Structure formats: structure tokens, C-alpha cells
Amino acid sequence: MSRVVETDKKGRLYLPKETREKYGQKFLEIELEDEIKLIPIPDDPVEDLRKITDKLKGKSIEEMKKGIKEEALESMG
């Protein structure tokens, strides 16, 4: 999904409530050559890591590689 967001007169960027509820309140801003990216910073990184490792239990290296590749392609749009 994509949508237009705007800054106010002070340059503050407001994200829609649905976005904040889904991704949280903190983001890492990455400035690229011609664009910026906002990467959500989890409230509890350890818990997020646990969730990821739980998904990997019992999977082969090939299955993990395939899953990583699919997620990367999906995140690129």
C-alpha cells in the first residue's frame, strides 16, 4: 500500500494512525541518493528476534534461503 503524507509548517511528518499501530512509533530514516526510507524500530527487538527464530525451527538451510529471498523480493515491491 502507498499513500501521500505531508509535513506541517515545522517540517514534522505525520503518519496515519493505521501505520503507527502496525509499525510502532520509532523509525530509522535512511537517506538514499534520491529517496528516503523509514524502517520501523521494534519496541522489543529481542521479542521480534524470538518470533523470527521460532519461524525457522525445523527448516533446512535451503528453506531458510528461499524464505529470505521471498521476503526480500516482497519488501522491494
> With bands split at pLDDT 50, 70 and 90, how would you rate the model's confidence at 77?
low
7 and 37 share a domain? yes
7 and 26 share a domain? yes
**Separation of alpha carbons 37 and 21, rounded Å:** 18
1 and 36 share a domain? yes
Half-sphere exposure of 7 (CA within 13 A, CB side): 4
37 and 52 share a domain? no
How many domains is the chain partitioned into structurally? 2
- Give the CA-trace dihedral at 56, 57, 63, 65, to 10 degrees: 40
Enclosing domain of residue 13: 1-41
| Residue where the block lists cell 514534522 | 12
32 and 11 share a domain? yes
pTM of the model: 0.54
**Separation of alpha carbons 71 and 40, rounded Å:** 16
In tens, the pLDDT along 18-67 reads 988 988 889 999 999 999 999 988 888 888 788 878 877 888 888 888 88
Asked if residue 1 has pLDDT above 80, the reply is no
> With bands split at pLDDT 50, 70 and 90, how would you rate the model's confidence at 12?
very high
Asked if residue 8 has pLDDT above 80, the reply is yes
